[in-house]
Amino acid sequence: MAQVIIHATVSLDGFMADKDGGSDWMFGFPVAPEDESLVRKVVVEIGAVVGGANKAQTIEDGEAPYGGGLQVPVYLMTHCAHEPVQKDGTTYTFVVDDLERAVELAKQDAGDRSVSLLGGSIARQCLEMGLVDEIQLHVVPILLGHGISLFAGLDRRIDLERVETAAYAGEAHLRYRVGPSAVA
């Protein structure tokens, strides 16, 4: 069955984007071929995506998840019913308020591949609901000080199991398992 993953590039202080939403800080440090192949290995395993309502506007603005490189079904949370959108070979399905259902639909689509959660709020909500199987972080060697945090606002304590730690150049790659038994 599909594994639900939080897959994010973060600064050492846990930000996914700087305070203006920018990501220029994700570049400009040494990268090894192994870094790229590790990221690619995670990305090719993604079979569906679930994103927050704020992603809907982004998509209308022409920004597809993962830079459009992933042609997989995308489920977006919304507060009002909205017909599915087909764009550049990707189907965007809108799910009204029921995150558990969005994740379930995405899992069905993903089959034996993974479901990637897009955005901090969705990631935290899914962690709190016990829906996350794995966390895969690519930690960039920088402290941003301010920005959009991945975990800030999480409202419960969650035990993890470290399953993989790797580093080749600037980034550190940290992979954790969140088992049902790991939810404290």
Q: Is 142 in the site for a copy of itself (CB under 8 A)?
A: yes
Is 127 a binding residue for a copy of itself by CB under 8 A? The answer is yes
Which tokens go with 81? Answer: 């019913």
Q: Indicate which single residue of 79, 155, 180, 181 sits in contact with a copy of itself (rule: CB under 8 A).
A: 155
Site for a copy of itself, residues 13 to 32, rule: CB under 8 A: 13-14, 18, 25, 29
Quote the crossing angle between the two packed helices 120-128 and 99-110, to the nearest 10°.
Answer: 100
Shortest distance in whole angstroms from residue 164 CB to a copy of itself: 8
Among 41, 87, 101, 156, binds a copy of itself (CB under 8 A): 156
Q: How far apart are CA 158 and CA 150, in angstroms?
A: 14
| Cβ atoms 50, 122 nearer than 8 A | yes
Residue 104 or residue 124: which is nearer to a copy of itself going by CB?
124
Strand, helix or coil for residue 134: strand
Q: Which two tokens stand for residue 17?
A: 């984007």
Of the two residues 108 and 170, which places its CB atom closer to a copy of itself in the complex? 170
The least distance separating a copy of itself from the CB of residue 62, rounded to whole angstroms, comes to 28
Nearest-CA neighbor of 75 among 38, 26, 109, 30?
109
- For residue 144, state whether it binds a copy of itself (rule: CB under 8 A): yes
Which value, in Å, is the radius of gyration of the alpha carbons in the chain? 16
Q: Which stretch binds a copy of itself (CB under 8 A): 36-44, 75-83, 98-106, 148-156?
A: 148-156
Least Cβ distance, residue 111 to a copy of itself (angstroms): 28
Using CB under 8 A as the binding rule, whether residue 50 contacts a copy of itself is answered as no
Q: With binding defined as CB under 8 A, does residue 36 bind a copy of itself?
A: no
- β-sheet bridge partners, residue 115: 4, 48
Asked whether the beta carbons of 19 and 54 are under 8 A apart, the reply is no
